[in-house]
């Protein structure tokens, strides 16, 4: 497919005239000449939002089976793009081809998972408390609850997942599954990839006879288009993955609207890893090998990258640091997603270098002349230094981590109480560590969305039980997840129908249960018969 520089607004290809941009190849540090993308502005936001508004009541009322088929069609259309998609994503992001192939599989799997969620209908939360006309002292009305989509959703694609968290990624898939039209602002770091995937979605909209405004894809330079999108009264929720600064800026805009709307922003996390004494004694070298792989995967550009390691001082920790340093010293530098992200990584590591009482114990291979390539780094410090130095807790977003020596479990507890909200916390524990881990758990539950034992946090399974969220600042709303089946809940709201005639009730609540969904009836879960 020839990639052209037009936006996709409903079924139209629209060339923006608010400036031009070319895609960028971070590995060669040069622009990709074709095509020239025309950037949009407020006029294009208006057009996409207005189409989304027109589409809303039609799209949300198409039968669930049809919505599911639509999601599956997007998956098929993405696969049909073949190698072109992978090659373009590779050129625009520097991410290795196997990684991108895996990410495409995840993207397609995610769309199919949401198709199953839609068919199953459980997400509607159908709940029935039937009328009790004889109840004393006063009768009870017939009360029925079901969830409806909030309205059109704005999605900001993530730079570090050009497929799985971008145009057809988790935010878009869960919003479309909820019945919400989507307007995506493409990430400037992979414009061509965005366009290819956008075409796959647009084609699925057309093939399935869905309303034009179900999906639009916009390009915007600077901040104006994104700001206009979040400010637009038609937009009822926002999905975002990126920097804390960007997420908070969009949150402020959304809160300042005459009608504030939720922004589900996934921002920064350093994903502490606690190494307990017995685990270190039994397998320091194995833990260190897995840690180094996790830290350097994808040049460390994961929101779940293990940026902080905490352990009680002793021979086990020494063995861990020695083995990790030896392995990291040999790791090749890797191309980062954008020159901006590379600069931010260099600044982050420089800030840590400058903290007194912090020792750099490992540095990966130099990149030589290769541009935008991150050298891995490992730092060592003590607990008090961490407590006193905010620089050590800032997300470095790359293959660098800080190891902290604590005196005892009480000091680990102090650190656990001190750290900010996180997406994940990891425990490396053996049976003899359980009592100490038990002391930490109540604190860690308050701090993180996912707690793992004896693994590493990179690699987020897309399934029903996943939580990829967490207390601020890891996200702007700790009550939801952005990965996994329940991500759909972000874009739904409950409506209670009181005494409505059966004919006027949504199918999820009709007496005959035509959707054959599980329902909560008088507080009891009832299977369809």
CB of 295 to ligand NAP, least distance (A): 15
Using alpha carbons only, how large is the chain's radius of gyration in Å? 25
Cβ–Cβ contacts within 10 Å for residue 278, how many? 16
Asked if 490 and 176 count as a contact pair (C-beta separation under 8 A), the reply is: no
140 strand-pairing partners: 132
- Could you say whether residue 397 binds ligand NAP (CB under 6 A)? yes
- The residues near 4 (Cβ < 8 Å, ≥ 6 apart) are 13, 35, 195
Nearer to ligand NAP, 73 or 167 (CB): 167
Of 107, 110, 160, 202, the residue at the interface with ligand NAP (CB under 6 A) is 160
Tell me if 295 sits within 8 A of 270, measured CB to CB. Answer: no
Instruction: Work out the widest C-alpha separation in the chain, in whole angstroms.
Output: 83
Angle between the 277-296 and 315-330 helix axes, to the nearest 10 degrees? 20
The one-character DSSP state at 181 is -
Q: Which of 226, 300, 306, 316 binds ligand NAP (CB under 6 A)?
A: 226
CB of 403 to ligand NAP, least distance (A): 21
Binding mask 321-360 for ligand NAP (x = CB under 6 A): --------------------x--x----------------
Q: Does 185 bind ligand NAP (CB under 6 A)?
A: yes
Stretch that binds ligand NAP, among 151-159, 170-178, 205-213, 255-263 (CB under 6 A): 151-159
Take residue 243 and report the two structure tokens written for it.
Answer: 């920097």
List the beta bridge partners of residue 309.
Answer: 273, 403
**Do residues 98 and 68 make contact, with C-beta atoms less than 8 angstroms apart?**
no
Q: Assess 267 for contact with ligand NAP (CB under 6 A).
A: yes
Q: Which stretch binds ligand NAP (CB under 6 A): 130-138, 260-268, 324-332, 456-464?
A: 260-268
Token pair in block for residue 280:
């270190």
Under rule CB under 6 A, residue 93 binds ligand NAP: no
- Dihedral through CA 408, CA 412, CA 418, CA 420, nearest 10? 160
Q: Which of 266, 281, 393, 524 is catalytic?
A: 266
Q: Is 47 in the site for ligand NAP (CB under 6 A)?
A: no
Looking at beta carbons only, is 303 or 412 nearer to ligand NAP? 303
Closest distance of CB 204 from ligand NAP, Å: 23
303 near ligand NAP, rule: CB under 6 A? yes
* DSSP per-residue codes, 200-235: HHHHHHHHTT--GGGEEEE--STTHHHHHHHH-TT-
How many angstroms separate the CA atoms of 100 and 299, rounded? Answer: 14
Q: What is the dihedral of CA 178, 183, 187, 193, to 10 degrees?
A: 80
* 391 classed as catalytic: no
Q: 78 in helix, strand or coil? A: helix
Least separation in angstroms between residue 188's CB and ligand NAP is: 3
- The stretch near ligand NAP (CB under 6 A) out of 60-68, 222-230, 277-285, 368-376 is 222-230
Which residue lies nearer to ligand NAP by CB, 227 or 393?
Answer: 227
Q: Closest Cα to residue 201, out of 190, 212, 191?
A: 212
- Residue 135, classified by CB atoms within 10 Å of its CB into exposed (0-12), middle (13-18) or buried (19+), is exposed
* Distances, alpha carbon 494 to alpha carbons 41, 201, 489, in Å: 34, 28, 10
Q: Work out whether 401 is an interface residue with ligand NAP (CB under 6 A).
A: no
CB 120 within 8 A of CB 84: no
Whether the CA torsion 517, 522, 526, 528 is positive or negative: it is negative
Minimum CB distance to ligand NAP smaller for 79 or for 346: 346
| Nearer Cβ to ligand NAP (207/227) | 227
Least gap, CB of 346 to ligand NAP (angstroms): 11
C-alpha 361: how far from chain center: 32
Q: Which is nearer to ligand NAP, 215 or 276 (CB)?
A: 215
Tell how many helices (H) and how many strands (E) occur in the chain: 14, 23
187 scored as a contact of ligand NAP (CB under 6 A)? yes
Please identify, using beta-carbon distances, which residue of 156 and 276 lies nearer to ligand NAP.
Answer: 156
How many Cβ atoms are within 10 Å of 310's Cβ, its own excluded?
A: 25
Q: Does 114 bind ligand NAP (CB under 6 A)?
A: no
Decide if residue 266 touches ligand NAP (CB under 6 A): yes
Tell me, yes or no, if 266 is annotated catalytic.
yes
The answer to whether 227 contacts ligand NAP (rule: CB under 6 A) is yes
Pick between residue 288 and residue 334 the one whose CB is nearest to ligand NAP. 334
24 binds ligand NAP (CB under 6 A): no
Nearest approach, Cβ of residue 152 and ligand NAP (Å): 18
Instruction: Quote the tokens at residue 520.
Output: 């909560």
**Residue selected from 96, 109, 125, 246 as contacting ligand NAP according to rule CB under 6 A:** 246
**Which of 303, 346, 369, 411 is an active site residue?**
303
- Residue of closest CB approach to ligand NAP: 246
Report the nearest approach of ligand NAP to the CB of residue 448 (Å): 14
Interaction of residue 107 with ligand NAP, rule CB under 6 A: no
Contact residues for ligand NAP, defined by CB under 6 A:
156, 158-160, 185, 187-188, 223, 226-227, 241-243, 246, 249-250, 266-268, 303, 341, 344, 395, 397
Q: Which residues are catalytic?
A: 266, 303
């Amino acid at each position: 497919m020839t990639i052209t520089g037009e936006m996709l607004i409903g079924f139209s290809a629209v060339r923006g005239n608010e400036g031009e941009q070319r895609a960028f190849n971070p590995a060669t540090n040069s622009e990709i000449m074709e095509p020239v993308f025309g950037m949009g502005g407020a006029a294009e936001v208006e057009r996409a939002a207005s189409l989304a508004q027109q589409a809303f009541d039609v799209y949300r009322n198409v039968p669930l089976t049809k919505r599911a088929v639509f999601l599956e069609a997007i998956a098929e259309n993405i696969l049909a793009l073949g190698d072109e998609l992978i090659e373009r994503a590779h050129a625009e992001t520097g991410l290795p081809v196997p990684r991108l192939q895996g990410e495409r599989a995840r993207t397609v799997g995610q769309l199919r998972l949401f198709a199953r969620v839609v068919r199953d209908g459980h997400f509607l939360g159908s709940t029935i408390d039937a009328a009790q006309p004889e109840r004393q002292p006063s009768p009870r009305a017939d009360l029925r609850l079901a969830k409806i989509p909030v309205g059109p959703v704005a999605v900001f694609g993530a730079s570090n997942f050009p497929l799985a968290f971008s145009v057809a990624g988790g935010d878009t898939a869960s919003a479309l599954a909820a019945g919400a039209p989507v307007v995506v602002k493409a990430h400037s770091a992979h414009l061509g990839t965005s366009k290819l995937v956008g075409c796959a979605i647009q084609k699925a909209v057309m093939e399935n006879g869905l309303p034009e405004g179900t999906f639009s894809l916009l390009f915007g330079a600077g901040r104006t288009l994104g700001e206009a999108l979040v400010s637009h009264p038609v937009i009822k929720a926002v999905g975002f993955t990126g920097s804390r600064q960007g997420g908070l800026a969009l949150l402020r805009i959304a809160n300042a609207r005459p009608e504030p709307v939720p922004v589900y922003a996934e921002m920064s996390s350093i994903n502490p890893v606690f190494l307990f004494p017995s685990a270190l004694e039994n397998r320091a070298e194995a833990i260190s090998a897995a840690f180094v792989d996790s830290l350097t995967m994808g040049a460390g550009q994961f929101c779940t990258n293990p940026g902080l390691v905490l352990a009680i001082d002793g021979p086990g920790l020494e063995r861990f640091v020695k083995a990790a340093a030896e392995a990291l010293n040999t790791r090749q530098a890797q191309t980062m997603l954008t020159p901006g992200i590379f600069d931010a990584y260099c600044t982050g590591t420089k800030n840590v270098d400058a903290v007194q009482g912090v020792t750099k114990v490992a540095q990966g291979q130099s990149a030589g002349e290769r541009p935008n390539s991150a050298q891995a780094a490992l730092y060592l410090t003590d607990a008090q230094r961490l407590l006193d130095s905010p620089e050590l807790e800032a997300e470095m977003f790359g293959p660098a981590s800080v190891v902290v020596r604590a005196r005892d479990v009480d000091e680990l507890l102090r650190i656990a109480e001190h750290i900010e909200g996180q997406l994940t916390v990891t425990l490396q524990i053996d049976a003899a560590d359980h009592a100490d881990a038990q002391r930490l758990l109540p604190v860690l539950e308050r701090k993180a969305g996912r707690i793992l034992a004896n693994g590493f946090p990179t690699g987020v399974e897309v399934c029903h039980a996943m939580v990829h969220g967490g207390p601020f600042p890891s996200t702007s709303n700790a009550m939801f997840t952005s990965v996994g089946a329940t991500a759909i809940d972000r874009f739904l709201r409950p409506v209670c129908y009181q005494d409505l005639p059966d004919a006027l009730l949504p199918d999820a609540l009709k007496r005959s249960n035509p959707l054959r969904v599980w329902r909560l009836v008088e507080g009891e879960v009832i299977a369809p018969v």
